[in-house]
Chains A and B, each alone.
Chain A
Amino acid sequence: MVSPGEEAVDPGQFLRASRVVIVAGKGGVGKTTVAAALARMAARQGLTTLIVQVEQASGLARLFGRPPLTYIESSLAPAAGTIAEVRGRTITPDDALLEYLEDHGLRRISRRLVSTGAMDVVSTAAPGIKDILILGKVKSLERSEAADLIVVDAPAAGHAITFLLSVRGLLDAVRVGPINAQARDVLELLTDPVRCSVMLVTLPEETPVNEAVETAFTLEDRLGISLGPVVVNGLYLPLPGLDVDPAEAADAAGVTLRPGEAEALAGAASFHRHRQALQEAQLERLDERLPIPRVGLPFLFAADLGPAHVDVLAAALRDEVTTLDPPPPETPPVPSPETTP
């Protein structure tokens, strides 16, 4: 927590640091939930926000209590007073390719190209082309200022690396033509911290921590993408008093416990303490191995998350962000994509 007088990060400034935030993490860590919370936090800060979903299987719309997203933008949470709107859409490779071909005067054959399966031949001939089309579309949304903030719900970790690194691979495979130009544009977007950053999501558990560290280093070293704070999701928050024996606690409060209640209270307390101890150990490992700021989000004790939970997480994220160290006044110069090997 930041004490009064100490300089804190302004949430608005944090959210305006880059126009596109790619939320990435291993399957099951709550990447989509964090993307939703970030979008809602931005909306509450008055920023219009667009969430882009790149995988079919995503509970994103469900988190907002809305029907599944499509390639056409739709509203996920309406504007209200000073709160801006959150909108959402999908970008699937086939749709992105169709749009790309139509934009390049190839409308006549575009449908056939996709329906005959010729797209499979093309994407095998030039691996990464699907990813480039998706990221190219994100780039054009960013260029056209589709929203104040664009949140990309990226594919699961292993694939997120392939997804983002595909740009470099494709530049090698396709040396001329519109796809090469597209890949250059995308690389420019990904390596410009003012335009784009990656927010990694993880859980306070061994394998997710390992994977987050590995992903962070791979993305930074091989792509030169800017990393935002790492989000540790599903934290058990400290509860003072859980180490007190239930019978004693009851005596102190002048309450008589029903039969079996002391055992249930003690069992639950021990479970909580145990999980918290495990989580502390993992947070320590994460801090040791990944020297970037981290923020934590609480575990919500609900199996089915909805709009109310997203709001709780958005508020928690806002509070956490204000505890971060303020960024240095001057952003260091970023090497242009041409000079990087």
Chain B
Amino acid sequence: MTTGASLAELVQRAGIVVCCGSGGVGKTTTAAALGLQGAREGRRAVVVTIDPAKRLADTLGIGTLTNTPSRIGGDWSGELWAMMLDTKSTFDDLVAKHSADADQARRILSNRFYRNISSALSGTQEYMAGEKLYELHEEADFDLVVVDTPPTRNALDFIDASRRLTNFLDHRLYRLLMSPTRAYLRAVNLAAQAFVRTVSKVVGGEVLDDALAFFSAFEGMEEGFRDRAARVQALLVDPATAYVLVASPRADTVAEASFFATKLGESDISVASLIVNRLHPRFGSGRAEADRARARTLAGTPLGSLFANLGDLRAIADGEESTLAELSAQVAPAPVVRVPFLADDVHDLDTLARIATYLFPAR
């Protein structure tokens, strides 16, 4: 993506838009608004959310989302689809696709260790989000895929998840355990045996047996997974994939956003745009300190209250701007888009359209 392009250009041209940011900053809503704009621009857009609070469902006014996209009807030239990522079924589909036969798939799908992977192994959600994104973009012919990322601390976890997970599935320890006859491995294997004994002591042998049965059933599928993961990762770092940072103007979320931007930069990925939600409006151009001084002189009168309130609101608006200054400079030339505090929660397409007026101001 060309750096410095406006959000409007972004939704017209990008193949994939990844929204990153910490929890509670309005990522889901922002992703939905970007998808909606894509549909208005005539694109076949799909919004993928991962949020367990089902907030996109609320935002789009649809009751439930499933692991396959549902079409949302509306008055636009393109198409708008939405879905909520189901990590487990995405993984199940992947297993079915790569297994040699129905028996191998069944052995894996019924294994307890496998069933735990989607809920307990960190990075699985990110991995499956990447996988789903690839599937929607490459195989289901969506021309704009907007994804609301899991609340990962590190944006790179998302990009790197497929590689880390394939390494896990191809676990070295397991290979050692399963090849006890190779003489040259014997020494290492003693350590592996000690490991197994220890783990059995801590969590019980039954639990470990499940894990070993899983890795054994998985044998032969590593290559397919690895190959697929490499393609997913290539798509995530492709120039047509745009990363949008979403933040609220508070020091802590700004610090998180800055951390994200730094990590992306380390992988030569630039931030396409910074969207700041929930900004306080600035009333007039006077100074907060002067207002507060007058409020003190006029304390106890209605005018005193009016000045105290004006001073408070000017102080927070100025504080928010100065908190954002450094981050804005860090992501330059990416545009910084400001969305003010909205009166109501966003729960339908009308309110979503109002957000769009801030994200995509009329030229």
Q: Which residues of A contact B (CB under 8 A)?
A: 26-29, 32, 55-57, 59, 62, 101, 104, 106, 109, 112-113, 116-118, 120-129, 156-158, 173-180, 205-207, 211, 239-242, 244, 246, 249-250, 252-253, 255, 260-261, 263-265, 267-269, 271-272, 274-275, 278, 301-305
Q: Can you list, as one digit per residue, whether each of B306-317 has a CB less than 8 Å from chain A (1) or not (0)?
A: 111110111110
**Is B69 at the interface (CB under 8 A from chain A)?**
no
Q: What is the minimal beta-carbon distance from B239 to any residue of chain A, in angstroms?
A: 29
Contact check, B24 vs A29: say whether CB atoms are below 8 A apart.
Answer: yes
Contact check, B153 vs A56: say whether CB atoms are below 8 A apart.
Answer: yes
Contact check, B211 vs A261: say whether CB atoms are below 8 A apart.
Answer: no
> Using Cβ atoms and an 8 Å threshold, which residues of chain B touch A305?
251
> Using Cβ atoms and an 8 Å threshold, which residues of chain A touch B100?
none
Indicate whether A57 sits within 8 Å of B302 (C-beta atoms), given known contacts A127-B120, A128-B120, A302-B319: no
Which of B32-40, B72-80, B199-207 faces chain A? B199-207
Interface residue from B24, B122, B173, B306 paired with A269 (Cβ < 8 Å): B306
Contact check, B202 vs A177: say whether CB atoms are below 8 A apart.
Answer: yes
Q: What is the minimal beta-carbon distance from B164 to any residue of chain A, in angstroms?
A: 9
**Is B12 at the interface (CB under 8 A from chain A)?**
no
Q: Can you list, as one digit per residue, whether each of B172-199 has a CB less than 8 Å from chain A (1) or not (0)?
A: 1110000000000000000100110011
Q: Can you list, as one digit per residue, whether each of B140-175 has a CB less than 8 Å from chain A (1) or not (0)?
A: 000000000001010000000000000110011110
Q: Could you list 12 A-B pairs, sorted by A, with CB under 8 Å?
A: A26-B23, A104-B202, A121-B173, A121-B199, A127-B120, A179-B202, A239-B309, A244-B303, A268-B283, A268-B310, A304-B251, A305-B251
Indicate whether A175 sits within 8 Å of B252 (C-beta atoms), given known contacts A240-B305, A249-B301, A303-B322: no
- Those 3 A-B pairs whose CB atoms lie nearest each other, nearest first: A28-B24, A27-B23, A241-B302
Contact check, A177 vs B210: say whether CB atoms are below 8 A apart.
Answer: no
**Is B343 at the interface (CB under 8 A from chain A)?**
yes
Q: Can you list, as one digit per residue, whether each of B330-358 has a CB less than 8 Å from chain A (1) or not (0)?
A: 00000000000101110100000000000
> Using Cβ atoms and an 8 Å threshold, which residues of chain B touch A175?
204, 206
> Using Cβ atoms and an 8 Å threshold, which residues of chain A touch B281?
267, 271
Q: How far is the CA of A101 from the CA of B312 in the complex (A)?
A: 52
Find the B residue at minimum CB distance from A100: B202
> Using Cβ atoms and an 8 Å threshold, which residues of chain A touch B313?
268, 271-272, 301
Contact check, A62 vs B252: say whether CB atoms are below 8 A apart.
Answer: yes
Q: How far is the CA of A268 from the CA of B317 in the complex (A)?
A: 11
Q: How far is the CA of A271 from the CA of B342 in the complex (A)?
A: 11
Contact check, A27 vs B305: say whether CB atoms are below 8 A apart.
Answer: no
Interface residue from A62, A101, A112, A156 paired with B23 (Cβ < 8 Å): A156
Q: What is the minimal beta-carbon distance from B56 to any residue of chain A, in angstroms?
A: 12
**Is B233 at the interface (CB under 8 A from chain A)?**
no
**Is B248 at the interface (CB under 8 A from chain A)?**
yes
**Is B298 at the interface (CB under 8 A from chain A)?**
yes
> Using Cβ atoms and an 8 Å threshold, which residues of chain A touch B301?
241, 249, 252-253
Contact check, A118 vs B173: say whether CB atoms are below 8 A apart.
Answer: yes
Please name 15 further chain A to chain B contacts, defined as beta carbons within 8 Å, in addition to the given A268-B283, A271-B281, sorted by A numbering: A27-B24, A59-B252, A62-B252, A113-B198, A117-B171, A122-B199, A125-B210, A174-B204, A205-B345, A252-B302, A260-B284, A264-B284, A302-B315, A302-B316, A303-B323
> Using Cβ atoms and an 8 Å threshold, which residues of chain A touch B121?
120, 123-124
**Is B55 at the interface (CB under 8 A from chain A)?**
yes
> Using Cβ atoms and an 8 Å threshold, which residues of chain A touch B55?
207
> Using Cβ atoms and an 8 Å threshold, which residues of chain A touch B316?
301-303
Which of B60-68, B111-119, B128-136, B222-230 faces chain A? B111-119
> Using Cβ atoms and an 8 Å threshold, which residues of chain A touch B250?
303-304
Indicate whether A265 sits within 8 Å of B204 (C-beta atoms), given known contacts A32-B252, A303-B251: no
> Using Cβ atoms and an 8 Å threshold, which residues of chain A touch B252?
32, 59, 62
Q: How far is the CA of A268 from the CA of B310 in the complex (A)?
A: 5
**Is B272 at the interface (CB under 8 A from chain A)?**
no
Contact check, B302 vs A249: say whether CB atoms are below 8 A apart.
Answer: yes
Contact check, B203 vs A122: say whether CB atoms are below 8 A apart.
Answer: yes
Contact check, A124 vs B116: say whether CB atoms are below 8 A apart.
Answer: yes
**Is B249 at the interface (CB under 8 A from chain A)?**
yes
**Is B253 at the interface (CB under 8 A from chain A)?**
yes
Find the A residue at minimum CB distance from B308: A239
> Using Cβ atoms and an 8 Å threshold, which residues of chain A touch B312?
301
> Using Cβ atoms and an 8 Å threshold, which residues of chain A touch B308?
239
With most chain B CB atoms within 10 A of its CB, the pick from A178, A211, A253 is A253
Find the B residue at minimum CB distance from A177: B204
